[in-house]
Structure 1
Amino acid sequence: MLKKTAAEGVHAEGIVIGAIIDMSSRIGKEQRAAMEIAVEDFNGTGNQTLVLHFKDSQRDPVRAALAAMDLINNQQVQAILGPQTWEEVLSVAEISSQTQVPILSLADTTPRWASERWPYLLQASPNKQEQMKAIAAVVQSGNWHQVTVIYEDTDSSFLYNSLRDVGVGVIKGVVLSTFSSTTALSEHLEKLKREQNRVFVVHLSLPLAVRLFEKANEMKMMGKDYVWIATSPVTSLVHSNASIISSSKQGIIGVKSCFPEGGHPFRKLRQRFEGGFSIENPKDESNEPGIYAAEAYDAVWTLAVAVNGSNRVGQELLGKILQVDFNGLSGKVQFIKFINERAPADKFHIINITEKGYKELGFWSKGSGFSKTIHENSICSSCMTDSEQALTPEAPRHNSRGWRIATSANPLRVGVPGKSGYREFVNVTYDHLGNSVSFSGFAIKVFNETIKRLPFDLPYEFIAFNNSSYDELVKQIYLKKYDAVVGDVVLLAKRYQYAEFTNPYTETGLMLIVPAVSGRREWSFITPFTKSMWVLIAVITVYNGFIIWLIERNHCPTLKGSMLHQIGIVLWLAFNTLFSLHGSYLQRYLVDVLRFKTQNIKNYSTLDAYAQAFKNKDITAVFLEVPLAKLFLAKYCHRFVSVGPTYKLGGFGFAFPRGSPLLPSIDEALLNVSESGTLLELEKRFITPAKCPEVEDENQSLSPDSFGTLFILTTGTSTISLAIYIFSRGISMVGYKITWRLVLAAMRYWVCQKQITRRFSNAEISVNFAPHAPGMQSLV
C-alpha cells in the first residue's frame, strides 16, 4: 500500500534517488558501477549531496514493483532510475504516477502512448527506434529481401516496422523465452535449418543470444551460407563476452550505439571503472565499460542537474528534468517534451564479429546512410559496400546470399509441363530410348537467360511433369517436390495458395480471335471461283441467254425491238439466270463474325485444334491469353484477326515457393532480360516470326474442274433446245403430216400391243382355272 507522496518525503540531507537494476546481469553491473562513479563526481562538486539507493529486481516485474514501493515509502526517494526491461517499467509506472515520483526508464524502448497514461514516466536512454532503422538499412544494403526475426518475448514492433518500410519481408518470427532450454533452442534451429531463407535478425538479451549462437555453431549454422544480424543488446556488450566471439565462425554483423568513446570524459570513466569493476565482479571476462555504463552515468547527472540547488519534487522536478540539456558521455542529453523521452541517437557503428574478434566496418547515420568515418564531410552512401565481404572474409561478395544454396550436386529442381499443347512455349522431347530428355521453347529460353543474369551461380535442372493439370504442377512446389516451375503457367489467384510468382514475362490479358474478313467486302463475292471459272460462267450464261432470246423472241413482245435493246435483253437473261442460282451463297458471306454466344464454350488443347474447329464451324470465336493469341495469329496470319478489347489477366510467370528469397533477384534479372531486348528477340524467334508462314488456304477458289458435269448438262440442255427450235422452223407442212402419221402409227402400234397382251392373259387364266384339264402345253 502506498503511504507517501514525493512532497512528503523530502530529505533534508540532500538529493535522494533510487535505482532498480538487475545486479546479476552484465548490464546491471555496468549500470551500478557507472552510477556510483557519477554520484562521486557530483558530490565532489560540493554543491549538494546526492544519495543513491539500489534495489535488485532480478528482471522480475513483481520484484521491481515491490522495490519501487520500498524506495518511495521507506527511502523517500525523489526519483527512480531504471529498470532495464519494459515489463519491469510497466509494473512501476502506475506507482510513480500515483506518488508523483519521476521514473527515468533505462529500457531500450518505451511506447509513445505510455507518457500519456503515466506522465511521470520518462525514457532516459535514447529510443532504439532509429537503431532498428539502421538494422533495416543493413538488410536492405545486403539485398536480403526476406529475413527471419528471432526475438525475446518483448515488444519488437519497431524492428518489424523498420524492415517493412524498406521493403524487407519477415517470413517468420521465432519467439524465445528468456529461460528457453537448450533442447528448445535446438528444435527451433533445426526447423530454421530446413527453411530456404537463412538470414536471421537476432533481437535477444546477451545471455540468451550467446546460448543461441553456441548451439547454432554446433549445428553448423554459422558458416558462409548463413547471415546473422544482431541488435544492440548483443553488439553493445560484445566487448564483455568472449563466448559470442568464439562462436562466430563466419561472422555476425550488427549495429552498435555510437558515442564518444575516444573523448576525455569517457576515458576518465574507463580508468576509474576498470579498477572498481574488476574488484566487485572478479568472474567477469572484461572490466571495460560500454554504452549502458555511459547512459547510466548520464541518467544520474540528469537528476542531479534538475534538482541542483533546491529540493524539487513532483511536478516541479518533472518540469526541470524535461529542461535538461547537456553533452554527456553517451551523447547529447535532451528530452523531447510531450512524449517525455530522450532525443534518439542518429549515428551508429556497423560492426562485424568473427572468431578473431570484432571490427568496425563503418557508420550509419539518419538521413545520410553509410560512411567510412563519422566526420561531417565524409562520403555517405545508401549501400554498405564492405558488409557482405566482412561476413565471409575468404569468399567473394556474392556468396553470402542468405538462403539455401543450390549446388551442382544438389541443383534447383525446376518442374516443367511435359504435356504442353503449345510447343513454341515448352517442348519436351525424348530420345528413341526414352532416357535422355531435352527442353526447349520460349519459356525455357527466357528462364535460361534470366538465370544467366543473376549476380550468383544457381545450378538447376528441368524435370518433366507429365500430369496435364497445371494446378497440380504448381502444387508440387507446396509439396516440396519442386523448387520452381517454368512454363506457360498463367498467374491465377487460386494458385497463390501453393506458390508465389515472378513478374509476368509475357503481355497480360485475354484476346478474342475471329476469322478474318476481306477489306474489300463489296467484291468478296468473287473469291469462291478462279478467273477461268468466272470466264466460263460468263460464256455459258450468255450462251443460255441467247438461246432463250432466240426461242422466245417471236412469242414475247418484250424481247423485240432495236438491236441494242435485244442485246441488253440477252445479257439480262444471262445474269438473271446466274444469280437466281447463287443468291443464298452471298448471304453466307455477309454473316457478322463478331457475334458469338458465351454459353457455347468448347475447350481445345492445341492451336491447330482451334483452327480445325474454325474450319469445321464448331466455333465462331476463341479467347486466348495474349501470348497464345500472338502465336495463333502468327501461325494463321492470313485467316484470323483479334477484335474487341483485351481483358486483363495475370500473364505467364515462373513459380517459386512462398516467401522464397530468390524471387526479388529473379524479378530483377527478368527485368534485365526485358530491358536488354533479349526478351523481344526470343518472342520474335518463337512466337511472332517476321514472315507469315505459308499455309494452305482453306477457302481456295473453285476451278471449272469442280463444275464440269454441271456445265455439260446445262450446255447440253440449251443445245438440244436450240436444235429442236431450228429443226421445227426449217421443215414444211409435209413434214408436219409425216410427223402426225408417225405419231398415229406409233399410237396404233401401242394399242395393238395392249390388245395382244390382254388376250394371252385371259387364255392363261382359263387354263389355270379349268377342272380335270389334261396335260396341255403352254404357249411360249
Structure 2
Amino acid sequence: MATVHFELSLMAVALLLTPSSSIAADRSSGTKGNQHVNGVVGAIVDTSSRIGKEEIVAMEIAKEDLYRYSNQTLILHVKDTDQRKPIRAALAGMDLINTQVQAILGPQTWEEVSLIADICTKNQIPIFSFADTTPEWTTEKWPFLLGASHDNFAQMKAIAAIVQSWDWHQVTVIHEDVGSWTNGVMPYLHDSLRKIGAEVSQFVGLSSFASSDSLSRELINLKREQCRVFVVHMSLPLAVRLFEMAKKLKMMEKDYVWITTHHITSLVHSINASIISSMQGIVGVKSYFSETGTRFQDFSSRFRKRFRRENPEDENNEPGVYAVQAYDAIWTIARALKGSIRRNQELLEKVLQTDFPGLSGKVQFSNHKMAPTQMFQIINVVGKRYRELGFWSSGLGFSETIGKHATYSPLMNDLEQVLWPGGPRYTPRGWTELTREKPLLVGVPAKSGYKEYVKVEYDRSGKAASFDGLAIEIFNATVRRLPFYLPYEFVAFDDISYDKLVGQIGKEFDAVVGDVAIVASRYSHVEFSHPFSETGLMLVVPARSSNKAWSFIKPFTKSMWASITVITIYNGFVVWLIERHAHPELRGSILHQIGVMLWLSFNTLFSLQGGKLHSNLSRMSVVVWLFVALVVIQTYTANLTSMLTVQRLEPTVTSVEELLKSNAVVGYCSGSYLEKYLVEVLRFPRNNVKHYGSAEEYAQAFNKKEIAAAFIGTPLAKIFLAKFCKKFIAAGPTFNIGGFGFAFPRGSPLLASINEALLKVSENGTLVQLENNFIGVLKKCQDKEEENPSLSPNGFRALFIITVGTSTIALVIYIFCIASSFSGLTTIRSLMFIIIKHWCYQSKRFSRRVSNVESLGNSSPQHAPYQLSQV
C-alpha cells in the first residue's frame, strides 16, 4: 500500500509540474455572467465509454434543471479517465481536490474508487461512487465514501429464478476477471443458485484485454463440456467481443442458453444493429426505473437531442440507468448545498439525510449507500432491438406488469414466449449429450470387501479389465433405460477411503458407482440418485443356541395358552354344574367344589378316560370338547417336535446399551461416516471402534475375540449373515442410515434422468432379478429363521367357537330345566318350559336306564361299565 501511495505522490507532482499531462483536458462548465455560484462539483468519467457519455449529458441537463427550477448554479469540472488504468482516476481525483471542489462524482469501478476514497476522506470531500460493489467495511475506513448507485446484488436472485424456471441444474459463469466483480458479486450468484438447487459447474474469468485467440480457446473448451447454460457478467465492450466469437463458433444456436447481468443488459439499448445481430436469443436482467411521467419524458426528450448532438457517431441516443443515476446524484448534492455550509462534514450529514423521488427511484441513503434495487426487467434480444418479457420483484417473483393489479409467479413460464438462440420456441435442455470421444468417467471402488456389489478384476499388466457386481449391473441397466445415448467408462479407484472417492467427483471422475452410502456429510460435494438398496445399519453379533428350558411353551403363543385355559375352565364349569346333583362327590365346601371343578376341567383335556356322566347335556358338551382337545394336543405335539428338531439361535448381545456398559470393542464396515455415527451418536469411545473391509475380516475378528459386535449397512449385513448364517445373527433395531446410491456432481443435469431410469428399472422387475442373481442366497438363511412359528388362536377359531357354543347351549337348556319348576310364568314361557321339561324328563329316563345297565355291569363281568369313553 505504501508503494501505491508513493507512486501516487510522484504522479501528482508530475501532474502539477506538467500542464500538458497525458490526462484528458478538463471539461469545466458553468453559467457565464452569473456570479452567484452555489457549489463546485467534480466528476471523473470515462468519456470514451457509453456509460461516460450518458453520465456527462445527464449531469449537464441536471445542472440546467437546477437553475431552471431552484435558481441554483453549480460549476461542474469533468475529468476524463480510463477504467483500464485506475491510477489515472486517482490522479484526476487529486487534481479535482486541488481545484477546490466540494464533492466528487464517480468513477465507475471499485478499483478506481478505492484509490480515490482515501484521498477524499483525508480532505473531507464526499465522493459519490457509481461502482456496483461497495464493501460493508468501507463505512468505517472511508466515512466520506457514498454509494450513489443502487445495490444490484438482488439481480443474482433474479438470475437464479430464471434458471429455476426452466429446471436447469448446472450453470457456467463467464465473468470479467476484475477483483471487485470476482470477489464481490460472484459469491452472491453462487449462493443464489445453490438455494434453488443449481450448481455452478465452473467460473471462467476473462481478462479485459483478452485477445481473440484467448476468447476462442476458452469458448472451445466450454463447447466441449456438457453444460449449455451460460451466465455472462462483464462490461459491454468485452461482452460484445465474446458474443461475436461465440457466433463464429456456432454457440449462438439451438440448445444454447445465454443470460446476461444488468452491466450488459442495461446498455443493450445503445448497441448498434450490426453488433446486436450476434446476440440473438439472449435473456437478460435489466435495472428497472420508471419511464413514465412528465418529468422523465421531459428529461428523455432533452437527453436524446443533446446526446445526438454531442455524440453523432452513436446510432442510439436513449438514456439508460447510468444516465438517470448521474442526474439524481447532481440533484442530491445540490439539495445538500442549499443554505450555508461552513465545512464539508455538514455537507456529508445533509447528504445522508437526503430523501426524495428521483428518476432512478427513491433517493435515500442507508449505511452510506443507496437503497438496493428490488425490481428488474427481464428482456429478450430479438431482431434489431429487444423484447420486454416482464418483471422480477424480490420476494414476489415474475409478473407481466407492475402495480397493484399485477399477478406474480415464482417461475417466468407465465411471461411472454422466449425466443432462444437459434430461433426454437421450445425450452433448451440446458446440457448436451456426451460423445464417444469424451465419455462419462465413472469411478468404482476397487477395494470393496463385498464382491457381490462391486468386483474389479485386473489383467496381467495390472490394469482394471472388467467390472462386475450388483451395483455395476444396476447402473448398466439404468443407463440402458435413458432416453438418450450416454457413453461411459468405468475407472478403478484403488484407495480404501470412500470419502476420498466421492471427493474426486468433478475432478477425476464424473460420477461414482458402487457400494457408496448416501450420507448427509457427502452432500456438500455431490448429489446422490435414489437408493438402489435397502437403507439402515444393523448390529451383528455372534449367535448361540437358544435356552430350551421353556421350549415346551413355544409351540403356542401366549394368547393361545390363555384361550385354551379359559375354554377348558368354562367347559369344566358347565359339566360340573350339570352333574353336581347326580354325584355326591361334586358337592361339599366351596373350596372342595372349586378343586373338583378344576380337576374335572383339565382331566377331560389331558385324558380321554373321563368319569361317569348322567346327563345328556354334559355328555354333549364333553364330546365336542374332547374332539377339540384331541386336535389341539396333536397339533401341539407336532409343533414341539419340529421346534426341538431345528436348532434355534439367539444373539449373545441384545442391545447397544449392553455393549456400552461392558465397554466392548465393536467393528464397522467401510465409510468414515460410520465411525462418526458410532462415536458421536451411539457414544462409543473412539478407541473401541475398529474398521474392517470385508465379511471374512469380520469373521476373523469375531473368532479372535477382537470385537464383540459389528455395525454393518443393511445390504452388506445380509451378505455377511448369508455367508455365516449359523454363527452370527442380527440383534436390536435397525438404525436409519441411507442406503447405496450413484453419486454425481452437485447440480448434474444427468441426475434427474438417472433417477427416472432407475425407477423404471425397479418397476419392471429388473432390480429384483439382479438382486436374486447376486445375493439370492440370502433368502435361504432367512427362510430357516422363519420356520415353525408359534401357533396363535386364529388357526383354531372355528373349533373354539364350536366347543364354547355347545357348552353354552347345554348350560342354557339346563338353566331352563331348573327354572321350569317355578310358577308365575306367562303362557308363552309356560309352553316353552313344558317342551323343555318334557325333554328333561326323557333325558332323566335315559339316565336311569344307563344306571340300571351299569348296575348290571357291576354284577356281571361280561358287561363293561358305560363310561365316558363309550359316549
Give yes or no for TM over 0.5: yes
Distance 1:421 1:286, change over 3 A: same
1:506 is aligned, of 506, 512, 533, to 533
Please give the secondary structure, in 1, of the residue aligned with 2:345: helix
For residues 329-350 of structure 1, what are the alpha-carbon distances to aligned partners after superposition, in whole Å with 9 as ceiling and x for unaligned? 11111222xx111112211001
Whichever residue aligns with residue 47 of structure 1, its letter is N
Please give the secondary structure, in 2, of the residue aligned with 1:521: coil
Whichever residue aligns with residue 343 of structure 1, its letter is A
The aligned counterpart of 2:163 is: 139
The aligned counterpart of 2:715 is: 627
Determine if contact 1:508/1:652 at 8 Å carries over to the other structure: yes
For residues 491-524 of structure 1, what are the alpha-carbon distances to aligned partners after superposition, in whole Å with 9 as ceiling and x for unaligned? 6999999987546443455535467656563388
1:213 is aligned, of 243, 251, 257, to 243
- The question of 1:70 aligning with 2:116 is answered no
2:399 is aligned, of 347, 360, 371, to 371
Whichever residue aligns with residue 653 of structure 1, its letter is G
Whichever residue aligns with residue 433 of structure 2, its letter is I
Aligned equivalents of 2:721 and 2:113: distance in 1? 71
Determine if contact 1:417/1:464 at 8 Å carries over to the other structure: no
Distance 1:598 1:48, change over 3 A: closer
The aligned counterpart of 1:280 is: 310
Distance 1:142 1:160, change over 3 A: farther
The aligned counterpart of 2:619 is: none
For residues 208-247 of structure 1, what are the alpha-carbon distances to aligned partners after superposition, in whole Å with 9 as ceiling and x for unaligned? 1111121122222233333322111100000111355221
Whichever residue aligns with residue 172 of structure 1, its letter is Q
Please give the secondary structure, in 1, of the residue aligned with 2:322: helix
Determine if contact 1:446/1:679 at 8 Å carries over to the other structure: no
For residues 419-459 of structure 1, what are the alpha-carbon distances to aligned partners after superposition, in whole Å with 9 as ceiling and x for unaligned? 9998986899xxxxxxxx9999677558856996x9xx443
2:390 is aligned, of 359, 362, 369, to 362
CA drift at 1:68? 2.0
1:252 is aligned, of 282, 286, 290, to 282
Whichever residue aligns with residue 460 of structure 1, its letter is L
For residues 281-338 of structure 1, what are the alpha-carbon distances to aligned partners after superposition, in whole Å with 9 as ceiling and x for unaligned? 12223112111111111111111222235456501211222222222211111222xx
The aligned counterpart of 1:179 is: 209
2:752 is aligned, of 655, 659, 665, to 665
**Counterpart mapping for 1:52-63 below 5 A:** 52-59=76-83, 60-63=85-88
Determine if contact 1:18/1:54 at 8 Å carries over to the other structure: yes
Deviates more, 1:172-181 or 1:391-400: 391-400
The aligned counterpart of 2:232 is: 202
Aligned equivalents of 1:599 and 1:413: distance in 2? 33
CA drift at 1:126? 0.6
Aligned equivalents of 1:327 and 1:64: distance in 2? 30
The aligned counterpart of 1:340 is: 368
Aligned equivalents of 1:127 and 1:661: distance in 2? 31
2:110 is aligned, of 79, 86, 89, to 86
CA drift at 1:257? 0.7
Q: TM-score, normalised by structure 2?
A: 0.59
**Counterpart mapping for 1:210-249 below 5 A:** 210-242=240-272, 244-249=275-280
For residues 29-63 of structure 1, what are the alpha-carbon distances to aligned partners after superposition, in whole Å with 9 as ceiling and x for unaligned? 01111111111121123622222111101223222
Distance 1:64 1:494, change over 3 A: closer
Determine if contact 1:426/1:444 at 8 Å carries over to the other structure: no
For residues 689-722 of structure 1, what are the alpha-carbon distances to aligned partners after superposition, in whole Å with 9 as ceiling and x for unaligned? 9995599989x9xxxxxxxxxxxxxxxxxxxxxx
Determine if contact 2:332/2:351 at 8 Å carries over to the other structure: yes
Distance 1:376 1:507, change over 3 A: farther
**Counterpart mapping for 1:468-479 below 5 A:** none
- The question of 1:19 aligning with 2:46 is answered no
Whichever residue aligns with residue 117 of structure 1, its letter is K
The aligned counterpart of 2:605 is: none
Deviates more, 1:231-240 or 1:111-120: 111-120
Determine if contact 2:536/2:714 at 8 Å carries over to the other structure: yes
Whichever residue aligns with residue 176 of structure 1, its letter is L
Determine if contact 1:508/1:626 at 8 Å carries over to the other structure: yes
Please give the secondary structure, in 2, of the residue aligned with 1:399: coil
The aligned counterpart of 1:400 is: 429
Determine if contact 2:121/2:144 at 8 Å carries over to the other structure: yes
1:352 is aligned, of 355, 361, 380, to 380
Distance 1:371 1:104, change over 3 A: same
Whichever residue aligns with residue 387 of structure 2, its letter is K
CA drift at 1:673? 4.4
Aligned equivalents of 1:683 and 1:635: distance in 2? 20
For residues 375-414 of structure 1, what are the alpha-carbon distances to aligned partners after superposition, in whole Å with 9 as ceiling and x for unaligned? 233121222226895435754755332x332479988676
Aligned equivalents of 1:503 and 1:470: distance in 2? 24
Please give the secondary structure, in 2, of the residue aligned with 1:662: coil
Aligned equivalents of 2:94 and 2:492: distance in 1? 74
For residues 568-625 of structure 1, what are the alpha-carbon distances to aligned partners after superposition, in whole Å with 9 as ceiling and x for unaligned? xxxxxxxxxxxxxxxxxx9x99998669997999999899x9999999x9x9988753
Please give the secondary structure, in 2, of the residue aligned with 1:150: strand
Distance 1:508 1:33, change over 3 A: same
**Counterpart mapping for 1:709-724 below 5 A:** none
Whichever residue aligns with residue 342 of structure 1, its letter is M
Distance 1:684 1:631, change over 3 A: farther
Please give the secondary structure, in 2, of the residue aligned with 1:170: strand
The aligned counterpart of 2:138 is: 114
- The question of 1:125 aligning with 2:152 is answered no
CA drift at 1:80? 1.4
For residues 240-265 of structure 1, what are the alpha-carbon distances to aligned partners after superposition, in whole Å with 9 as ceiling and x for unaligned? 1135522124x222210111123332
Aligned equivalents of 1:73 and 1:94: distance in 2? 15
Distance 1:493 1:474, change over 3 A: farther
Aligned equivalents of 1:176 and 1:238: distance in 2? 21
Aligned equivalents of 2:450 and 2:421: distance in 1? 45
Please give the secondary structure, in 2, of the residue aligned with 1:228: strand
Determine if contact 2:226/2:434 at 8 Å carries over to the other structure: no
1:306 is aligned, of 332, 336, 339, to 336
Structure exhibiting the larger radius of gyration computed from Cα positions: 1
Please give the secondary structure, in 1, of the residue aligned with 2:258: strand
CA drift at 1:661? 2.2
Distance 1:82 1:664, change over 3 A: farther
Determine if contact 2:529/2:755 at 8 Å carries over to the other structure: no
Deviates more, 1:259-268 or 1:513-522: 513-522
* RMSD of equivalent CA atoms: 5.2
Distance 1:407 1:39, change over 3 A: same
For residues 84-134 of structure 1, what are the alpha-carbon distances to aligned partners after superposition, in whole Å with 9 as ceiling and x for unaligned? 111111121122212222111112222222122111111111112222332
Whichever residue aligns with residue 225 of structure 2, its letter is E
Determine if contact 2:132/2:151 at 8 Å carries over to the other structure: yes
Distance 1:510 1:33, change over 3 A: same
Please give the secondary structure, in 2, of the residue aligned with 1:260: coil
The aligned counterpart of 2:486 is: 460
CA drift at 1:468? 9.9
Whichever residue aligns with residue 20 of structure 1, its letter is I
- The question of 1:328 aligning with 2:349 is answered no
Determine if contact 2:170/2:749 at 8 Å carries over to the other structure: no
Q: TM-score, normalised by structure 1?
A: 0.65
Distance 1:635 1:326, change over 3 A: same
Whichever residue aligns with residue 322 of structure 1, its letter is L
The aligned counterpart of 1:293 is: 323
The aligned counterpart of 2:296 is: 266
Unaligned runs of 5+ residues in structure 2 are: 1-8, 14-34, 457-465, 553-644, 654-658, 669-689, 788-871
Determine if contact 2:478/2:754 at 8 Å carries over to the other structure: no
Deviates more, 1:441-450 or 1:163-172: 441-450
